[in-house]
Amino acid sequence: MMESKAVRYSLVARQEAVLGRTRAFDGSTLYLPNKITETTLTLSAVRDTDDTPVSVFITLVAVVNYSNCVQLFNVIFRRVCVCVRVYVRACVMSDPAGPTSLGVAASWTSLLRSLQSNSYTTT
């Protein structure tokens, strides 16, 4: 396993032809909107730093149902926060350009708690 999270992101991003454009990746877990057809998928890539060929192994561990998607929601939420330049500092969401904290974290936490407490089913 690659130690560098940035290298892992880069290697997964290059597999768009196989994985598709829509994905959420936190450095160790890859979430895809479509189920991959194989249990273990082996892909090839080249590392940018030294042009070394690398094999990327993707293993289907489980299909996650909606009520267990808290980690997925956190990955997506962090990506959105980076896009709008809102950063987590001491568990408080803040805008570095502005002097006040944003109330996003409190509403996000209550949403996740309601998702965990309710049983949602997908069709």
Are the beta carbons of 49 and 31 closer than 8 angstroms?
no
Task: For 102-117, write each residue's pLDDT tens digit.
Answer: 555 556 666 666 656 6
Residue range(s) defining the domain that contains residue 40:
5-59
Domain assignment of residue 122, yes or no: no
pLDDT value at residue 121? 44
Q: How many domains does the chain have?
A: 2
Full-model pTM: 0.62
81 in a structural domain: yes
Is residue 48 domain-shared with residue 89, that is, in the same domain? no
> Are 52 and 86 in a shared domain?
no
Work out the pLDDT band at 74, boundaries 50, 70, 90.
confident
Contact status, residue 58 vs residue 46, Cβ threshold 8 Å: no
Whether 87 maps to a domain, the answer reads: yes
Instruction: Band the pLDDT of 123: cuts 50, 70, 90.
Output: very low
Tens-place pLDDT, residues 77-106: 888 877 777 766 655 555 556 654 555 555
In the chain, % helix, strand, coil (3-state, to 5) comes to 35, 20, 45
Buried b (16+ CB within 10 A) or exposed e, 10-36: ebbebbeeebeeebbbbeeebeeeeee
